[in-house]
C-alpha cells in the first residue's frame, strides 16, 4: 500500500487500481478487502478486482484506460505476456530484494535466513520470466541482527515506494536506461510453508536465531515439549558451548531458557503455548516453570 499512497501523493495520474478480489478472512470467514482497495475507495479511484487477467474482456478493459505504464506491487497474480504489452512503457514491479538475488515468492524471509548483511528493493521491467526483467533502479538496505520478516517487510515497503518514485523520474520519452540481470548470479526462493518453521536443534544456534526472525510474524518458529507445540517468537544465539545433546534444556532463568543446539545455545526469550498469548521467559516461567527442568529435551524427535 505505501507504493499506492506515494503515487496518490505524487504528480502522477492514476487512471485505475487493480487488486485481488475480496477474500474470506478471520474466524467468521467474512469477506475482507485489501488495504489497497480501502485506500483507493478513500481517494475515489476506479477499482477493479478480476480473478485474473487472462480473459480478452479484461485485457480490453485495460487497453481502454490508455495508461502510459502499469505499476505492479505484490499483486499475487501472474500477468500474461499480452497484458505486459498493453501500455507503451510496459509494466514495472517493486521487488523486495537486490535482484538477481532472491527472485521468487519469499525474498524477505530468505535474506534473513541466509544471514545477508544487506538487502534492498529493485524496480524492474516485467517480462514473462519471473523477476528476471531489466533493472531500472535499486536501493540497498542494511540488515540488523534484530530484523524480523515483519519489520523488514514494512521498512522495504516504505523504501520501495520511494524507489518507485525515483524510477519514474528516470523515465524518458524513449524509456529507461536499464541494466540486464546477470543470470549467473540469480538465486531463487520458494513459498514458505508452515512446516519450514519447525526447529531442527541439530543446526547451529546462529542459524536457528535467524530462522526465528525469518518466520516471524508467520508462520512462527516452533518445537514440541511434553506433547504441546511451543511457538518461539524471539530468541538469541549464545556463543556458549555445551556437551549436552541438541535439544536439551541447558539453563533456565527469568532472562531466558537456554537450549543446546548443534553449535552453541539458543536462548528462548519469548514463547507461546497453545491457547495462550506470547510471553516473555520470565512470565512463562512464573506460570509453567515447574514443568521445565534442566536436561529435559525439547523437540518432537525426542518425544516419540
All three cell numbers of 106, joined, read 519469499
pLDDT in tens, 228-272: 999 999 999 998 888 999 999 999 999 999 999 999 999 999 999
> Of all helices (H) and strands (E), which one includes residue 103?
strand 103-104
Q: Which tens digit of pLDDT belongs to each residue from 153-165?
A: 999 999 999 999 9
The one-character DSSP state at 19 is: -
What is the rounded CA–CA span in Å between residue 98 and residue 107?
9
Q: What's the rounded mean pLDDT across residues 263-286?
A: 94
In contact, 16 and 53? CB cutoff 8 Å: no
pLDDT for 78 equals: 80
Which three cell numbers, joined as nine digits, stand for 119? 538487502
The C-alpha atoms of residue 249 and residue 291 are separated, in whole angstroms, by 12
Q: Are 139 and 120 in contact (CB under 8 A)?
A: yes
**pLDDT tens-digit map of 15-47:** 999 999 988 877 777 777 888 999 999 999 999
Residue 177 confidence class, pLDDT cut points 50, 70, 90:
very high
Q: What's the whole-number average pLDDT of the chain?
A: 93
Domains and their CATH numbers in the chain: 2-189 (3.40.50.170), 194-302 (3.10.25.10)
Contact 236/266 with Cβ under 8 angstroms? yes
Confidence of residue 304 (pLDDT cuts 50, 70, 90): very low
Taking alpha carbons only, the member of 158, 247, 234, 171 closest to residue 202 is: 247
> pTM of whole model > 0.85?
yes
Give the chain's largest Cα–Cα span.
Answer: 71
85-124 pLDDT tens trace: 999 999 999 999 999 999 999 999 999 999 999 999 999 9
Q: Is there a contact between 171 and 186 (Cβ–Cβ < 8 Å)?
A: no
Amino acid at each position: 500500500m505505501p507504493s499506492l499512497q506515494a503515487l496518490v501523493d505524487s504528480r502522477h495520474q492514476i487512471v485505475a487500481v487493480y487488486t485481488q478480489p475480496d477474500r474470506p478472512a478471520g474466524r467468521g470467514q467474512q469477506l475482507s478487502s485489501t488495504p489497497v482497495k480501502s485506500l483507493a475507495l478513500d481517494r475515489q479511484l476506479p477499482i477493479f478486482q478480476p480473478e485474473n487477467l487472462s480473459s480478452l474482456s479484461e485485457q480490453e478493459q485495460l487497453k481502454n484506460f490508455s495508461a502510459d505504464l502499469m505499476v505492479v506491487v505484490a499483486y499475487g497474480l501472474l500477468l500474461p505476456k499480452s497484458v505486459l504489452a498493453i501500455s507503451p512503457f510496459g509494466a514495472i514491479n517493486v521487488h523486495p530484494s537486490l535482484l538477481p538475488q532472491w527472485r521468487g515468492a519469499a525474498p524477505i524471509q530468505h535474506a534473513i535466513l541466509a544471514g545477508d548483511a544487506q538487502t534492498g528493493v529493485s524496480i524492474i521491467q516485467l517480462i514473462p520470466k519471473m523477476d528476471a526483467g531489466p533493472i531500472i533502479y535499486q536501493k540497498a538496505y542494511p540488515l540488523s541482527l534484530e530484523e524480523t520478516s515483519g519489520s523488514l517487510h514494512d521498512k522495504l515497503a516504505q523504501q520501495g515506494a520511494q524507489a518507485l518514485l525515483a524510477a519514474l523520474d528516470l523515465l524518458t520519452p524513449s524509456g529507461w536506461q536499464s541494466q540486464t540481470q546477470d543470470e549467473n548470479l540469480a538465486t531463487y526462493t520458494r513459498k514458505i510453508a508452515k512446516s519450514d518453521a519447525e526447529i531442527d536443534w541439530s543446526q547451529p544456534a546462529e542459524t536457528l536465531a535467524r530462522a526465528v526472525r525469518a518466520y516471524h510474524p508467520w508462520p512462527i518458529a516452533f518445537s514440541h515439549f511434553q506433547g504441546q507445540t511451543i511457538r518461539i517468537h524471539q530468541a538469541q544465539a549464545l556463543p556458549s558451548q555445551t556437551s549436552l545433546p541438541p535439544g536439551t534444556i541447558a539453563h533456565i532463568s527469568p532472562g531466558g531458557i537456554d537450549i543446546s543446539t548443534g553449535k552453541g545455545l539458543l536462548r528462548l526469550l519469548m514463547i507461546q503455548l497453545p491457547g495462550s498469548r506470547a510471553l516473555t521467559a520470565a512470565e512463562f516461567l512464573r506460570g509453567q516453570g515447574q514443568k521445565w527442568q534442566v536436561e529435559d529435551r525439547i523437540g518432537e524427535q525426542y518425544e516419540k
